[in-house]
């Protein structure tokens, strides 16, 4: 393996360890990570390191996807490894916005098949040479734990209701929700809604208008426009494509 890069979607976790180091770059959503008792939230604009043989577990948000590099000890063969990997300790480090945009673009190109994973891995490691690690992921505050729990439920309820559940004011809740998940509460709600819409279109014969009304839309045309903006297909086209696979 030496170095293996892959874009992965996560739906659940289990406590385990592996004999290689792992670099996590979140492309979407967030993940609550526990590395031998060190708990943190991996979300937008940060990179997490899980060193080899460290036992860890994770809880992803519903829409979590990560650009993952699995790196074996002999991968660099005399070359300088990124500082993030030299100390062999868990870390969670913020990334400069311009560098983060580069990582996001690499992830998008890998997902689209426009870039070979091996080339993307080399470019990602080159970018990581510019990141100075911050060791010991900070523990989650109680407020952050409540917010990430709400995010894992897909942002159900109004922002005011979620803020009350979290015991926070709306402005503080909104800021903390974005900081811990990389999305606003409204974006999380739309993700949950369209995940449900896509599932109903693919697995039921319900009319599109009935699906739209069932999800809270006042008219089907508004649902159709937003669905197409998100997926690039109308609901009917999405349904036909899912059934032809």
Please give the model's pTM, rounded to 2 decimal places: 0.57
Q: Does some domain include residue 133?
A: no
| Distance linking the first and last C-alpha atoms of the chain | 32
Dihedral-angle region of residue 113 (phi above 0 means left; psi in -120 to 50 means alpha; beta otherwise):
left
Instruction: Say whether both 122 and 9 belong to one domain.
Output: yes
Q: Tell me what percent of the residues of the chain surpass a pLDDT of 70.
A: 91
Task: Enumerate the H helices of 129-234 as residue ranges.
Answer: 142-152, 159-166, 170-181, 185-203, 208-214, 220-231
Instruction: Say whether both 14 and 98 belong to one domain.
Output: yes
Give the model's pLDDT for residue 1. 52
Instruction: Say whether both 179 and 199 belong to one domain.
Output: no
The rounded distance, in Å, linking the Cα atoms of 100 and 106 is 10
Phi, psi of 61 (to 5 degrees): -70, 165
Instruction: Say whether both 167 and 228 belong to one domain.
Output: no
Give the model's pLDDT for residue 194. 83
> Residue 137: pLDDT above 80?
no
For 138, residues 6+ apart whose C-beta sits below 8 A from its C-beta are 40, 92
Instruction: Say whether both 165 and 209 belong to one domain.
Output: no
- Reference 164, options 146, 180, 181; nearest CA is 146
Instruction: Say whether both 24 and 116 belong to one domain.
Output: yes
How far out from the chain centre does Cα 111 lie? Answer: 14
Give residue 68's pLDDT band: very low, low, confident or very high (50, 70, 90).
very high
Q: Does some domain include residue 134?
A: no
Instruction: Say whether both 146 and 222 belong to one domain.
Output: no
Structure tokens at 148: 């990430």
Give residue 91's pLDDT band: very low, low, confident or very high (50, 70, 90).
confident
Angle at which helix 185-203 crosses helix 170-181, to 10 degrees, equals 60
Q: Bigger pLDDT: 88 or 79? A: 88
- Domain holding 203, by residue range, is 186-244
Each residue's pLDDT tens digit, 140-180: 677 877 887 777 766 667 888 888 888 888 888 888 888 77
Number of domains in the chain: 3
The rounded distance, in Å, linking the Cα atoms of 89 and 134 is 10
Instruction: Say whether both 164 and 211 belong to one domain.
Output: no
Instruction: Say whether both 146 and 180 belong to one domain.
Output: yes
Structure tokens at 72: 């074996």
Instruction: Say whether both 238 and 162 belong to one domain.
Output: no
> Residue 231: pLDDT above 70?
yes
């Amino acid at each position: 393996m030496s170095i293996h890069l892959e874009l992965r979607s996560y739906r659940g976790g289990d406590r385990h360890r592996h004999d290689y180091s792992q670099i996590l770059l979140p492309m979407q959503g967030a993940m609550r990570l526990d590395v031998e008792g060190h708990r943190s939230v991996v979300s937008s604009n940060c990179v997490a390191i899980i060193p080899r043989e460290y036992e860890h577990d994770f809880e992803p948000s519903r829409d979590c996807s990560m650009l993952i590099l699995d790196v074996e000890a002999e991968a660099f063969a005399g070359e300088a490894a990124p500082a993030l990997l030299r100390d062999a300790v868990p870390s969670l480090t913020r990334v400069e916005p311009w560098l983060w945009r580069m990582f996001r673009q690499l992830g998008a190109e890998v997902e689209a098949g426009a870039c070979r994973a091996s080339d993307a891995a080399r470019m990602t490691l080159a970018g990581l040479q510019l990141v100075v690690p911050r060791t010991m992921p900070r523990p989650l505050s109680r407020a952050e734990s409540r917010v990430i729990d709400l995010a894992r439920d897909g942002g159900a309820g109004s922002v005011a209701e979620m803020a009350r559940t979290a015991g926070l004011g709306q402005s503080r809740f909104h800021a903390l929700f974005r900081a811990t998940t990389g999305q606003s509460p409204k974006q999380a709600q739309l993700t949950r809604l369209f995940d449900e819409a896509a599932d109903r279109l693919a697995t039921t014969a319900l009319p599109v208008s009935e699906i739209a009304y069932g999800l809270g839309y006042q008219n089907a045309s508004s649902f159709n426009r937003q669905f197409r903006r998100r997926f690039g297909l109308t609901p009917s086209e999405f349904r036909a494509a899912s059934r032809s696979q």
